[in-house]
Chain A
Amino acid sequence: MQAGNDGTQAKLDPPAPNGKDWVCKPCSVEPYTGEKREPVLRLIDVEKTLDGKKVLDGVTLEIPRSQITAIIGLSGAGKSLLLKHMIGLMKPDRGLVLLDGVDINRLSREGLYEARKRFGMLFQTGALFDSLTVFENVAFPLREKTDMPERELREKVRRILRHVGLENAEEKFPDELSGGMVRRVALARAVVMDPEIILFDEPTTGLDPIIRNSILHLICRTYHEHHFTMVMISHDLPDIFQWCQHVVVVHDGKVVEVGTPGEIRNSVDPFVRQLVDGDIAGPVQLM
Chain B
Amino acid sequence: MILSMAEALGSRAILATRSLGKMGMFLGASLSRAAVPPYRVRNILKQVHFIGVKSVSVIVLTAAFTGMVLALQGFYTLRKFGSEGLLGSAVALSLVRELGPVLSALMVTGRAGSALTAEIGIMRIGEQIDSLETMGIDPIRFLVAPRLLAFLLSVPLLTAIFDVVGIYGGYLVGVKLLGVNAGVYLGQMEASVELVDVTNGIWKSLAFALLIAWVCTFKGYFTRHGAEGVSHATTSAVVVSSVLVLICDYFLTSVLL
Chain A residues engaging chain B, CB cutoff 8 angstroms: 84, 87, 89, 109, 113-114, 116-117, 119-121, 123-125, 127-130, 140-141, 144-145, 193, 199
How distant is B38 from chain A, measured CB to nearest CB, in Å?
11
Our pick among A109, A125, A144 for the contact of B127 (Cβ within 8 Å) is: A125
- The residue of chain A having its C-beta at the shortest distance from the C-beta of B142 within the complex is A144
- Chain A proximity mask over B169-183: 1 for CB below 8 Å, otherwise 0: 000000000000000
Cross-chain contact A123 with B138 (CB below 8 angstroms): no
The docked-state distance in angstroms from the alpha carbon of A145 to that of B134 is 12
**Interface presence of B130 (CB below 8 A):** yes
Chain B residues engaging chain A, CB cutoff 8 angstroms: 122-123, 126-128, 130-131, 133-138, 142
Q: From DSSP, what is the main secondary structure of chain B's interface residues? A: helix
Task: Give chain A residues whose Cβ lies under 8 Å from the Cβ of B122.
Answer: 130
The docked-state distance in angstroms from the alpha carbon of A199 to that of B131 is 12
Task: Give chain B residues whose Cβ lies under 8 Å from the Cβ of A120.
Answer: 134
Cross-chain contact B128 with A127 (CB below 8 angstroms): yes
- The residue of chain A having its C-beta at the shortest distance from the C-beta of B130 within the complex is A89
- The residue of chain A having its C-beta at the shortest distance from the C-beta of B125 within the complex is A125
Task: Give chain B residues whose Cβ lies under 8 Å from the Cβ of A144.
Answer: 135, 137, 142
The docked-state distance in angstroms from the alpha carbon of A126 to that of B123 is 12
Cross-chain contact B133 with A116 (CB below 8 angstroms): yes
The 3 closest A-B pairs by CB, nearest first: A127-B131, A127-B127, A113-B136
- The residue of chain B having its C-beta at the shortest distance from the C-beta of A144 within the complex is B137
Task: Give chain B residues whose Cβ lies under 8 Å from the Cβ of A119.
Answer: 134
Cross-chain contact A89 with B133 (CB below 8 angstroms): yes
The docked-state distance in angstroms from the alpha carbon of A141 to that of B133 is 11
Cross-chain contact B127 with A145 (CB below 8 angstroms): no
How distant is A204 from chain B, measured CB to nearest CB, in Å?
17
How distant is A140 from chain B, measured CB to nearest CB, in Å?
8
Our pick among B123, B127, B128, B138 for the contact of A113 (Cβ within 8 Å) is: B138
Task: Give chain B residues whose Cβ lies under 8 Å from the Cβ of A199.
Answer: 134
The docked-state distance in angstroms from the alpha carbon of A278 to that of B15 is 43
How distant is B25 from chain A, measured CB to nearest CB, in Å?
13
The docked-state distance in angstroms from the alpha carbon of A114 to that of B137 is 10
Apart from A89-B133, A141-B135: 14 A-B pairs, beta carbons within 8 A: A89-B130, A113-B137, A113-B138, A124-B127, A127-B128, A127-B130, A127-B131, A129-B123, A129-B131, A130-B122, A130-B126, A141-B137, A144-B135, A199-B134
Task: Give chain B residues whose Cβ lies under 8 Å from the Cβ of A124.
Answer: 127
Task: Give chain B residues whose Cβ lies under 8 Å from the Cβ of A109.
Answer: 138
How distant is B10 from chain A, measured CB to nearest CB, in Å?
17
23 A-B pairs with CB atoms under 8 Å apart are A84-B130, A87-B133, A89-B130, A89-B134, A113-B138, A114-B136, A116-B133, A117-B136, A120-B134, A121-B134, A123-B131, A124-B127, A125-B127, A127-B126, A127-B127, A127-B128, A127-B130, A128-B128, A129-B123, A129-B128, A129-B131, A144-B135, A145-B136
The docked-state distance in angstroms from the alpha carbon of A56 to that of B188 is 72
How distant is A165 from chain B, measured CB to nearest CB, in Å?
22
How distant is A117 from chain B, measured CB to nearest CB, in Å?
5
The docked-state distance in angstroms from the alpha carbon of A127 to that of B135 is 12
How distant is A169 from chain B, measured CB to nearest CB, in Å?
19
Our pick among A113, A117, A121, A193 for the contact of B131 (Cβ within 8 Å) is: A121
Cross-chain contact A116 with B128 (CB below 8 angstroms): no
How distant is A42 from chain B, measured CB to nearest CB, in Å?
19
The docked-state distance in angstroms from the alpha carbon of A145 to that of B141 is 14
How distant is A61 from chain B, measured CB to nearest CB, in Å?
20
